[in-house]
Amino acid sequence: MSMKIWGKRMLALACAGAMLVPLAACGSDADAGKIRLSYLSWDNEQTSKPYIDEFEKENPDIKIDFSYAPPTSEYISTLQTRLVGNQAPDVFIITSENRDDLIDNGYAKDLTDESFMKNISQANKDFVGRDGKTYGMSITSWGSGIAYNKDLLKQVGYDEPPANWDDFLKLCKKLKNAGIEPFLEPNADEPSRFIDAFQGSILEKKGVDPTTLSTQDNQTPGTDELEAIKEYIRLYDEGGVTRDTVGISGDDMKTQFTNGQVAMIVDGAWDFATFEQAGMNWDFAPMPKLGDDYTQYAQGSASPAWAIYAKLDGDKLKAAEKFLTFLSSKWALQKRNDAGDAVTVDGFDATVMTQYQKVYDQDIKTGKYYLHTNFYSKPDILKSELKAQNQQLVQGQITPDQYAKNIDAKVAAAQ
Amino acid sequence: MSATMQGSAVGNLPPLDEDLYRRRRRARGLHEDVTSFWFLLPILAVFVVLFLVPLAQTAYFSFTDFNGYSMDMNWVGLDNYKKVFTDPSTLQGLGFTILYAIVVMVGVTVIAIPLAVILNRKFVGRDFVRSVFFFFSVPSLAIMGMVWKYIFSPMKTGVVNSVLAAFGLGPVPWLSNNSLAKFCVIFIAIWAQIGWHATLYLAFLQAIPADLYEQATVDGANKWQQFAHITLPQLMPGIVTSTFLLMSGGLKVYDLPFTMTKGGPGYSTYTVTQSIIQQGIGQSQYGIGSALAVLFFIATGVVVFLQMGISNLISRRFE
């Protein structure tokens, strides 16, 4: 072998060796001997880091291997790939879109009797539960309501939106006649939030437990909400709200509202910071109820929950349980609360923004919130079909009965 | 010249030497083939791993109820294919995809060729104008969709509606009306792509010998006759390339309609690719998504080969 070739080989070997140096640093001495817990989050690193740092400080024998995928479809497909590829994270997120698949395929551990589940509210347990068992720990909830421009409402003699649906429609008409855009909802992005709020109160009046809906053999989510649909479409038929909402996204709606071009929008706490920054005179009211015979409901849901991989055992399982215990600790709940999340853990005294207080007290704390897709199998299919049919309904291309029939047919085909 | 010399040299050799020469030539050819194979091996490996293997897997999954969560799947025969053909949203998506591909292909071609002819002439600021048209195709269609969503907002405050209001006209429900939403998506696709395809045609135009036009002028041909009998036939290879790219790209379209309308209102701007992604990945119906992908692969292949065949027939007519 010539010196030239020998020299080249030595150089290549040195380069390869140099590339291994950073890898060696990955398993640094500081973490040697620690229990490594993998956690696939859908909150980014900036949001998650304070919790992880505090947990590792309190548990110096555990190291969290953090990874992140953004919600919702990207998170679900990332988790799916890791589960099928035997690279399952030890702690991950369970939510309505992957709940049935994770439970059916035995990926999520039954957490029902765990000590950290003791103070979790029943509505949050129901969200990730089945047959009396709970498969995730959800500590916050959200509810939507009516964000309104106080100055524009004052122009037609109102201080706040009325609590009844009939009166709400009258207000819309009055605003329209005064040349003010009364109301907008982002139908280009999602099905109407009103329908869910109405459906929650209709089910309560009928005495139907929504958690039983997904156990039915032939699910009919369209027909089930027909009464709510017929009430909802009055917004366009009687309230004079523009049918152009079909082409309006959440961002469009928000921009219109902060620019003072619309009196009311249907929204949630996630946009409050934008309203504050805009310096507008605004407030937030609960969703109107159908009538005096009905209980007022919000469209809302428990937030996604943390789940533990079902095949964990030994030290790793203990570490995962410690992590969930920490995430439901007073320190972590307060941190969540400070970040603006509506904590719904029993015994925790949450504080929310003044504008959100009424919805928090009336709907979230009492569990008076409902999200149609949470209570049927194949929620992802249902959600996209609800949006498409909602758009056609608002356009006037289909009747409420056709809406119900189309939804039922889609879900039946998927089942 | 050299071939003739070589041929005569071979012809003068005794029979045994000629045989030896042929064997050597065959051996050299084989050696060259083996060398070419080694050069092609990396790309062949990439093709097999990234294309053929996933294609075979997709075909297999299309006959199963694979849900992405468990490798224990059941053979369901043609069930997924039946569902594809009976799902109204998928059929609507197929309809819009075909409409989009054809209208965009025709629209871009009809506008890009005259544009290229104009850009090929000498005028002040020609390079700047060429750059402006080409610039439209630089940003991705996904970005275009997000920007144009605001421009075509159906609200009074939308950019186009504000301009119309300045002329005393009422707002137009651009993205909230099925037909107008389709128009908007197709319009932007044409607008965004004409510059790139005009540049392609420009390259072909510049390769046409100037003496052809000089001879035609001497023979008394007018501008239209020169365009119809010289420019257009000479552009045929460019037209074949351009329409092939437009048709194959149009059938696979996803980004522009998704960012602009998310497939709505209803399913009016829904596309087959969106359906594959939504049903397959988004809704964990990998079996149905795979069946749709297989059918779409075959359909796209047939359409593109048909289009290439027709284009070649037309181009041969002009040879």
Provide the residue ranges of all domains of chain B, joining segments of one domain with +. Answer: 2-61, 79-318
Q: Which domains, from first to last, does chain A contain?
A: 30-138+304-340 (3.40.190.10), 144-300+358-414 (3.40.190.10)
Measured between CB atoms, which of A84, A105, A388 is closest to B89? A388
**Token pair in block for residue A129:** 């539960």
**For position A16, what pLDDT does the model report?**
52
Query: Helix count (H) and strand count (E) of chain A?
Result: 18, 14
Q: What is the mean pLDDT of each run of 10 residues along chain B (319 residues)?
A: 43 65 81 86 92 93 90 91 91 94 96 93 87 86 90 90 92 94 96 94 92 92 90 89 92 93 94 90 88 90 85 73
How buried is A9 (Cβ within 10 angstroms: 0-12 exposed, 13-18 middle, 19+ buried)?
exposed
CA B37 to CA B239: how far, in whole Å?
A: 33
**Closest Cα of chain A to B253: distance in Å?**
20
Q: How high does pLDDT run on average in chain A?
A: 90
Residues A130-139 have a mean pLDDT of 93
Nearest Cα neighbor of B185 from B138, B146, B133, B157 is: B146
* A chain contacts of residue B155, beta-carbon cutoff 8 Å: 242, 244, 248, 252, 256, 261
What number of CA atoms fall less than 13 Å from residue A28's CA on the CB side? 6
**For position A25, what pLDDT does the model report?**
47
Instruction: State which amino acid sits at residue A3.
Output: M
In tens, the pLDDT along A349-398 reads 888 999 999 999 999 989 899 999 999 988 889 999 999 999 999 999 99
**Cβ distance A45 to A66 under 8 Å?**
yes
Helix, strand, coil share (%) of chain A residues, nearest 5: 55, 15, 35
Residues A173-187 have a mean pLDDT of 96
Residues A12-21 have a mean pLDDT of 53
**Closest Cα of chain B to A358: distance in Å?**
31
What distances in angstroms separate CA A280 from CA A54, A272, B136, B157, B315, one per listed residue? 38, 11, 38, 19, 65
Q: Is this complex's ipTM strictly greater than 0.85? A: no
Overall residue count recorded for chain B in this entry:
319
- Site from B70, B147, B155, B172 to mutate, A interface, most A CB atoms within 10 angstroms: B155
What number of CA atoms fall less than 13 Å from residue B51's CA on the CB side? 7
Query: Helix count (H) and strand count (E) of chain B?
Result: 15, 0
**Which residue's entry shows tokens 């500590």?**
A139
Helix (H, G, I), strand (E, B) or coil at A41: strand
A interface with B, Cβ–Cβ < 8 A, is 73, 76-77, 80, 83-84, 101-102, 104-105, 107, 188-189, 242-249, 252, 256, 259, 261, 378, 380-381, 384-385, 387-389, 391-392, 395, 397, 406, 410, 413-414
**For position A93, what pLDDT does the model report?**
96
Residue A401 has pLDDT above 90, yes or no: yes
Parallel, antiparallel or unpaired: strands A140-143 and A342-343: antiparallel
* B chain contacts of residue A385, beta-carbon cutoff 8 Å: 89
**Token pair in block for residue A60:** 């110096």
**For position A238, what pLDDT does the model report?**
93
Residues A142-167 have a mean pLDDT of 96
**Cβ distance A373 to A170 under 8 Å?**
no
Q: Long-range contacts of range A352-356, CB-CB < 8 Å, 24 or more positions apart? A: A352/A269, A353/A269, A353/A272, A355/A272, A355/A282, A355/A283, A355/A284, A356/A269, A356/A272, A356/A284
Q: How far is CA B207 from the centre of its chain?
A: 23
**Closest Cα of chain B to A98: distance in Å?**
9
* A chain contacts of residue B285, beta-carbon cutoff 8 Å: 381, 414
**For position B136, what pLDDT does the model report?**
82
Q: What percent of chain A has pLDDT over 90?
A: 74
CA A183 to CA A176: how far, in whole Å?
A: 9
CA A131 to CA A215: how far, in whole Å?
A: 9
| Strand-by-strand arrangement of the A62-68 sheet | A62-68, A35-41, A91-94, A305-308
CA B289 to CA B84: how far, in whole Å?
A: 9
Fold category of B79-318 in CATH: MetI-like fold (1.10.3720)
In tens, the pLDDT along A91-117 reads 999 998 899 889 999 999 999 999 999
Q: How far is CA A40 from the centre of its chain?
A: 17
Measured between CB atoms, which of B176, B267, B281 is closest to A246? B176
**Cβ distance A285 to A160 under 8 Å?**
yes
In tens, the pLDDT along A239-252 reads 889 999 999 999 89
CA A90 to CA A316: how far, in whole Å?
A: 8
**For position A74, what pLDDT does the model report?**
87
Residue A410 has pLDDT above 60, yes or no: yes
In tens, the pLDDT along A266-311 reads 999 989 999 999 999 999 999 999 999 999 999 999 999 999 999 9
Contact A77 B281 (CB under 8 A): yes
Residue A158 has pLDDT above 50, yes or no: yes
CA A263 to CA A179: how far, in whole Å?
A: 11
**Closest Cα of chain A to B170: distance in Å?**
13
**Token pair in block for residue B294:** 């297989």
Residue A152 has pLDDT above 90, yes or no: yes
**For position B8, what pLDDT does the model report?**
45
**For position B98, what pLDDT does the model report?**
93
Contact B153 A248 (CB under 8 A): yes
B182 touches chain A (CB under 8 A): no
**For position A13, what pLDDT does the model report?**
54
B150 touches chain A (CB under 8 A): yes
For B155-219, list the strands marked E by DSSP: none
**For position B12, what pLDDT does the model report?**
57
Residue A264 has pLDDT above 60, yes or no: yes
Helix (H, G, I), strand (E, B) or coil at A186: coil
pLDDT bucket at A72, cuts 50 / 70 / 90: confident
**Closest Cα of chain A to B251: distance in Å?**
22
